[in-house]
């Protein structure tokens, strides 16, 4: 008798996709899960192989690329370039979008991803993550162009992240709630472990890097003071410095993550296309909200693959308060 509690990610995706949905979309999510398994194996052994340390190159962000970044980026590209499901990809590690090689058939979906966010934490064994989003091409006749990436987050068909931590988890949404799967290393499958994830009503944490306090606007400072002296929520401060890890903890325990505008970085640090928008889609599907501080991140239409956006993301009550205080103090 098979325990009917064992739900693999493949089964969950198939069960949740309407019969009308083409197999392409389901298979694309499966391909991403397979990429995650491959990356997880390497990540879990990072301390044991020569993968640690710098790849000797830097990416479009000018950040020193860790070998594991480069490896994760390559795995995701190679697992998806030949399947005929995508017409293009965009990665944090590449200045321009990635075309599907001529010899392969083009599909109707577009994949955006940060292959290994928080990679500066690799060498100190702190959890890191992959973030991804899936759009439909904007023009079936001319698919695989920059225009396919210049879509606001509310056009996302799916979004998710993989957290390489004490266990490897894949969390995703296709617009029908947020569901978490934990990798069972013995059988090599992601098994459903957190169905219908939602931000708890009572949040526990706020996450930000206080080192930048003096660079913040008056509204942002007032917001942090509100978070610190909140009668209703006795919040603790937790900041890992690894976006996926901070986001995941706040999703499970309730809280808000913020990377605000700064004096010398008006759009903050996080990238819209493959960090803030996918996580905001997940947040909204889990009853939360992602804001630029002025409005929904999902309403921002990118005009550059790597544009940054101020980010407040988590419990809707906490994020909406940021909008209120920034509007009051920063006009
Ligand atoms: P800071 C990692 O480099 C990252 O992009 C996110 O994972 C993380 O939330 C943020 O930067 C940390 O930035 O400036 O606080 O070190």
Beta carbon of 268 within 6 Å of any ligand 1 atom:
no
* pLDDT for residue 289 is more than 90: yes
Q: Nearest Cα to 25, choosing from 127, 95, 110? A: 110
Facing residues of 288 across strands?
A: 315
Whether residue 163 is found in the same domain as residue 244: no
Instruction: Give distance in angstroms: CA of 208 to centre of ligand 1.
Output: 10
Q: Nearest Cα to 99, choosing from 148, 26, 40? A: 148
In a domain, 186, yes or no: yes
The domain spanning residue 167 has which CATH number? 3.30.540.10
Phi/psi for 161 (5° steps) reads -145, 160
In a domain, 200, yes or no: no
Whether residue 80 is found in the same domain as residue 131: yes
Whether residue 219 is found in the same domain as residue 109: no
Beta carbon of 262 within 6 Å of any ligand 1 atom:
no
Whether residue 185 is found in the same domain as residue 213: no
How many domains is the chain built from? Answer: 2
Beta carbon of 120 within 6 Å of any ligand 1 atom:
yes
In a domain, 1, yes or no: no
Closest Cα to atom 12 of ligand 1: 241
Whether residue 167 is found in the same domain as residue 291: no
> Which residue, of 147, 174, 194, is where some domain finishes?
194
Whether residue 32 is found in the same domain as residue 59: yes
pLDDT tier, 1 (very low <50, low <70, confident <90, very high otherwise): very low
Q: Which of 61, 162, 164, 259 to mutate to test the pocket of ligand 1 (most atoms within 8 A of CB)?
A: 259
Q: Which of 60, 65, 118, 274 to mutate to test the pocket of ligand 1 (most atoms within 8 A of CB)?
A: 118
Whether residue 172 is found in the same domain as residue 231: no
In a domain, 2, yes or no: no
Whether residue 259 is found in the same domain as residue 167: no
pLDDT tier, 17 (very low <50, low <70, confident <90, very high otherwise): confident
Whether residue 241 is found in the same domain as residue 269: yes
In the structure encoding, which two tokens stand for residue 14, read together? Answer: 């198939």
Whether residue 172 is found in the same domain as residue 209: no
Poorest-pLDDT segment among 48-52, 63-67, 213-217, 219-223: 48-52
Percent helix, strand, coil in the chain, to 5, is 35, 25, 40
Whether residue 284 is found in the same domain as residue 181: no
Task: Tell me which residue range forms the domain holding 82.
Answer: 9-194
Instruction: Give distance in angstroms: CA of 209 to centre of ligand 1.
Output: 9
pLDDT digits (tens, 9 = 90+) for 174-195: 999 999 999 998 999 999 999 9
């Amino acid at each position: 008798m098979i325990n009917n509690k064992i739900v693999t990610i493949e089964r969950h995706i198939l069960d949740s996709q309407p019969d009308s949905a083409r197999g392409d979309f389901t298979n694309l999510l499966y391909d991403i899960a397979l990429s995650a398994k491959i990356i997880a194996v390497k990540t879990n052994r990072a301390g044991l192989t020569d993968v640690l340390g710098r790849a000797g190159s830097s990416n479009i962000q000018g950040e020193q690329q860790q070998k594991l970044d480069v490896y994760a980026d390559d795995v995701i590209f190679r697992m998806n370039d030949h399947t005929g499901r995508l017409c293009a990809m965009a990665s944090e590690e590449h200045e321009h979008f990635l075309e599907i090689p001529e010899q392969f058939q083009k599909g109707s979906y577009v994949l955006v991803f940060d292959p290994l966010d928080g990679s500066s934490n690799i060498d100190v064994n702190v959890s890191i993550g992959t973030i991804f989003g899936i759009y439909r091409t904007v023009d079936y006749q001319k698919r695989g162009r920059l225009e396919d990436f210049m879509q606001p987050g509310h056009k996302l068909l799916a979004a998710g992240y993989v957290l390489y931590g004490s266990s490897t988890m894949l969390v995703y949404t296709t617009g029908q709630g947020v569901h978490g799967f934990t990798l069972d290393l013995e059988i090599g499958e992601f098994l459903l472990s957190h169905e219908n994830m939602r931000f708890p009503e009572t949040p526990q944490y706020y996450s930000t890097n206080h080192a930048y306090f003096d660079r913040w606007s008056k509204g942002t400072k007032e917001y942090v003071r509100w978070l610190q002296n909140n009668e209703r929520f006795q919040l603790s401060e937790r900041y890992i410095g690894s976006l996926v890890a901070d986001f995941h903890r706040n999703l499970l325990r309730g809280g808000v993550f913020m990377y605000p505008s700064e004096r010398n970085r008006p759009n903050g640090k996080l990238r819209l296309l493959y960090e803030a928008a996918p996580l905001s889609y997940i947040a909204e599907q889990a009853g939360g909200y992602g804001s630029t501080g002025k409005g929904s991140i999902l309403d921002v239409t990118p005009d550059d693959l790597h544009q940054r956006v101020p980010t407040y993301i988590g419990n809707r009550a906490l994020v909406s308060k940021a909008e209120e205080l920034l509007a009051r103090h920063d006009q």
